[in-house]
Amino acid sequence: MNFIDEALLEVRAGNGGSGCLSFRREKYIPRGGPDGGDGGKGGSVIIKVDQGMNTLIDYQNKKVLAAKNGTSGSGRNRSGQDGENLILLVPLGTVIIDDSSDTTIYDCSDPSKDYLIAKGGDGGHGNARFKSSTNQAPRKITPGYEGDSITIRLELRSFADVGLVGFPNAGKSTFLNSVSAAKPKIGDYPFTTLKPNLGTIKYFDKSYVIADIPGLIEGASSGLGLGIKFLKHISRTKSLIIFLDPENPEIEMLDQFKILTKELLEFDKALIEKKIWIVVNKNDLLEENGSAEAESLKGQLSDLDINYQELLTISGYTRNNVEELFNSLFNEKLA
Ligand SMILES: Nc1nc2c(ncn2[C@@H]2O[C@H](COP(=O)(O)OP(=O)(O)OP(=O)(O)O)[C@@H](O)[C@H]2O)c(=O)[nH]1
Ligand SMILES: [Mg+2]
């Protein structure tokens, strides 16, 4: 499994078309004036955000992408045609880096914006432009200008507010499915989710993006399971929800929590320093919605030196307590 969240592209804007050298030729006008038109502008390369996209996989096999050249001007003062712009669509949160200097050019966070990457060359001037009182028959033109070209690296770190972390089968995708319009695959086997899914939820008048990533297991930081490479997708989220699964037949919830936080720490200490909510999921399968399990887990956690915001029992399936989770998550901490 190789999830592409990076791409290297050489992009070239179009060149401007050349100006035209031409003189009017008409009956009864033996020496017509200059009428060579200007060349058209080259197309630019522009990046735009497509909110429906969540990977850069489309760019995997593309190496060089070029916008169209402008065409040359022609006689009778006709200008050349402008080359068409090349629009590249990327997922929200894509970072564009100039590969040669390793500097970030844009952080594509605004879906309404055009991010200009390479500007098309201006068209050249036709000889009609150079007519003056002292030169009625100029033979001068200028060629079109070259378009910019640049090698860029696209990097996608997901732009979510909340990241979902848990063992395989903990119910992360079920949760995302029931609270947002996203339709991630759900399965009663581990590693159903192979790449991150993003969903948007509305909470009163605000919306938040939730990232569901593949499940983690012990040793993920040394490459076991699907590994921890997906954790970079939640490196910029403000909060994490750690999903604990009371139905996990092998690992009890306290150990799940310890293993998960250890793997997060191994990847990046900053992950553990985020605001963390803990949920005991699947409470529809527990007596009294898991109140006993929650209390006992709280007691066990108080012995550990762990900072978390709140521990709740929920069911992604029936949505029990999901409202309370959102109240706690969005009201206090994110709003
Ligand atoms: N009873 C009950 N079952 C649930 C609940 N949430 C998830 N499940 C079941 O648990 C199994 C795993 O659910 P997923 O949502 O695919 O779990 P996941 O955490 O996304 O798993 P991976 O993608 O493998 O990491 C499925 O069989 C779900 O139907 C819940 O709240 N209650
Ligand atoms: Mg899943």
Distance 63 CA to ligand 2 centre (A): 32
pLDDT number for residue 124: 98
- Choose from 196-200, 201-205, 238-242 the range with maximum mean pLDDT: 238-242
Q: Provide the CATH topology of domain 162-334.
A: Rossmann fold (3.40.50)
Enumerate residues 6+ apart whose C-beta is below 8 A from 268: 231, 235
Residue 157 scores a pLDDT above 70: no
Residue 291 CA to residue 246 CA, distance in Å, equals: 12
Average pLDDT, the chain: 90
Q: Where are the domains of the chain?
A: 1-156, 162-334
Selected residue with higher pLDDT from 121 and 199: 121
Distance 50 CA to ligand 2 centre (A): 23
Neighbours of ion ligand 2 (CB under 5 A): 173, 192-193
Enumerate residues 6+ apart whose C-beta is below 8 A from 263: 216, 218, 220, 221, 228
- Pocket flag, ligand 1, residue 316 (CB < 6 Å): yes
CA-proximal residue: ligand 1, atom 27 (nearest) = 188
Distance 311 CA to ligand 1 centre (A): 19
CA-proximal residue: ligand 1, atom 21 (nearest) = 169
Residue 12 CA to residue 118 CA, distance in Å, equals: 7
- Pocket flag, ligand 1, residue 191 (CB < 6 Å): yes
Q: Does domain 1-156 have CATH number 2.70.210.12?
A: yes
Q: Model confidence over 271-291: pLDDT tens digits?
A: 999 999 999 999 999 999 999
Q: Model confidence over 96-152: pLDDT tens digits?
A: 999 999 999 998 888 899 999 999 999 999 999 999 999 999 999 999 999 999 999
The best mutation among 1, 3, 169 to test binding of ligand 1, ranked by most ligand atoms within 8 Å of the C-beta, falls on: 169
CATH topology identical between 1-156 and 162-334? no
Spatial contact of 76 and 36, defined as CB atoms under 8 Å apart: no
Residue 3 scores a pLDDT above 70: no
Residue 319 burial class via C-beta count within 10 angstroms: exposed 0-12, middle 13-18, buried 19 and up:
middle
Spatial contact of 239 and 161, defined as CB atoms under 8 Å apart: yes
Residue 131 CA to residue 182 CA, distance in Å, equals: 63
pLDDT number for residue 2: 28
- Pocket flag, ligand 1, residue 214 (CB < 6 Å): yes
pLDDT number for residue 11: 97
Q: Model confidence over 293-309: pLDDT tens digits?
A: 999 999 999 988 788 99
pLDDT number for residue 158: 57
pLDDT number for residue 31: 74
Q: Model confidence over 200-219: pLDDT tens digits?
A: 888 887 778 898 999 999 98
Q: Provide the whole-model pTM.
A: 0.63
- Pocket flag, ligand 1, residue 246 (CB < 6 Å): no
pLDDT band at 66 (very low <50, low <70, confident <90, very high): very high
Helices 253-267 and 291-302: angle between axes, nearest 10 degrees: 50
